[in-house]
Chain A
Amino acid sequence: MQEEQNLVHRARRGDHEAFAQLYENHFDKIYRYVVLKIGNRAEAEDMTQQVFVRAYESIGSYRWQGIPFSAWLFRIAHNQMVDFVRKASKKRTVPFDESLPVLSDSDPEHEVELKMDVEKVVSATRQLTKAQREVISLRFAGGLSITEAAKTMGKSEGAIKALQHSAILTLRKTLLVGEQGGR
């Protein structure tokens, strides 16, 4: 945490290397978060880049006052996502992308199995409320702690825990129905 605080401090003073380090530290998490929210790889790639360009342009306005840098970064991502979804809903529906993101496991059989899971999970999260979906995306894809997720969403830790519980419950039901329907 202290190290990140130093990096942010240096980045605000114009240190490109410090910002590049923050970029490397958070790139994968932001990408995963965006993939889970959008479900479309090409859009997720563009969006991930935009999040960092935006963060770079706005770093001067960031103050370390109880809000971790990651929470600030995910807020930017969330705001861009809201904007994206609003625009997408005006133009067209956002289909789930069949070309899936590269998975961390290189075993091809495992990839097929996981591919099913990603599709299912993205589709199942569409059954959640906005807040539930946000919690799941921040916790599982973004890797944020309850405290960080609470700061990002501006809610209490208790509220985030309750949302997490109800979200997993709903996802389980949705995934089970899908499983039975698929047989």
Chain B
Amino acid sequence: MGGNKQFNAILDECLERLLTGHETVEQCLQRYPEYVAELEPLLRTAVMMNKAVDVKPSADFRARARFQFQSVMAESKSPGRAAVFVPRWAVAVCAVLLVFVLGGGTVVAADGSMPGSPLYPVKLVAENVRVSLAGSEEKKAELYAAFADRRITELDYLVTNGKSANMEAVAQRLSRHYTMMGELPLAQGTEVVATSSPPTPMLGTSGISGGDTTEQGVVAAGNKSVSDSSVNGRGELKKLLGYYAVTQPQRLQQLLDSNKVPEAAKPALRRALWASEHGYQQVLDNLDK
């Protein structure tokens, strides 16, 4: 066992020098003559593999990828913005100020606003506050999923009403919800803070799928899932997320398949679709752990 350990260390030392171009196979073998028989075939295989995997992205892909990535950066104000740590006390103070300065009615009214409306930023701030004050990781997962549903409803509204200017930003925000949800540490043993009855996630509000896409109709449906939503235990949460895991990608796919979405907004929507599948897969896996 000790011998094996020593050999592993020698092999790695030689590999390190070989892979960084500081030594040849022969030079390494000269330093360890007692291991030549065992070492040489492994080092030759490693050299061959190293050559084989030395692949480079094509110039075309490199340029395309760089351009697309720069567009992603340009679309968002700063990287990982939603994930930056904010102390809980600061959030609580902001929440109180928000209600006092704007008045409780304004915050409630903002809850139903759509992108482009003057109250829409208030709605987003209020959502951030709710996530930050959530009592558990499970509650945050529930909120992210519900807010994601809101974003899809907003996208639907923008498409149906021909307001494509804000689509990319909304799709980006949607992707961030999924990313944040997928990264929640949902270790077994933490209980969901129980409140009221299980939610009734909305379905069929999509303009594409033939629902009511007037602002009032969309808002009423889109916000119901957040205000009513509270689950009792991990089982209920899994059921809810499992439901969203099917319906949200479906709704995004419907949007993408429609001919109403402008080409410029499609990459962001595709990323959101991918993020939705990945985010739900991750959060459900984490809940199973």
Do residues A20 and B70 form an inter-chain contact, with CB atoms below 8 A? yes
B16 within 8 A of A: yes
State which of B70, B76, B80, B274 has its C-beta within 8 Å of the C-beta of A61: B80
CA distance A56 to B281 in the complex (A): 20
CA distance A52 to B198 in the complex (A): 37
Residues of B within 8 A of A23 (CB): 66, 69
Do residues A121 and B83 form an inter-chain contact, with CB atoms below 8 A? no
A59 within 8 A of B: yes
What is the minimal beta-carbon distance from A129 to any residue of chain B, in angstroms? Answer: 16
CA distance A172 to B47 in the complex (A): 11
What is the 8 Å Cβ interface bit string for chain B, positions 45-60, against chain A (1 contact, 0 not)?
1101111111111110
CA distance A20 to B69 in the complex (A): 9
Do residues B7 and A20 form an inter-chain contact, with CB atoms below 8 A? no
- In the complex, which residues 16-56 of chain A have their Cβ closer than 8 Å to any Cβ of chain B? 16, 19-20, 23, 27-28, 31-32, 35-36, 45, 48-50, 52-54, 56
What is the minimal beta-carbon distance from A99 to any residue of chain B, in angstroms? Answer: 10
Do residues B56 and A28 form an inter-chain contact, with CB atoms below 8 A? yes
Do residues A158 and B8 form an inter-chain contact, with CB atoms below 8 A? yes
CA distance A96 to B277 in the complex (A): 24
What residues of chain B have their CB less than 8 Å away from a CB belonging to chain A? Answer: 4-5, 7-9, 11-12, 15-16, 19, 41-42, 45-46, 48-59, 61-62, 65-66, 68-70, 72-74, 76-85, 175-176, 179, 183, 271, 274, 277-278, 281-282
| Known pairs A103-B55, A117-B51, A121-B53 / 15 extra A-B pairs, C-beta < 8 Å | A11-B79, A14-B79, A28-B57, A60-B83, A79-B282, A86-B281, A101-B56, A101-B58, A102-B57, A102-B59, A103-B56, A162-B5, A164-B12, A164-B15, A165-B42
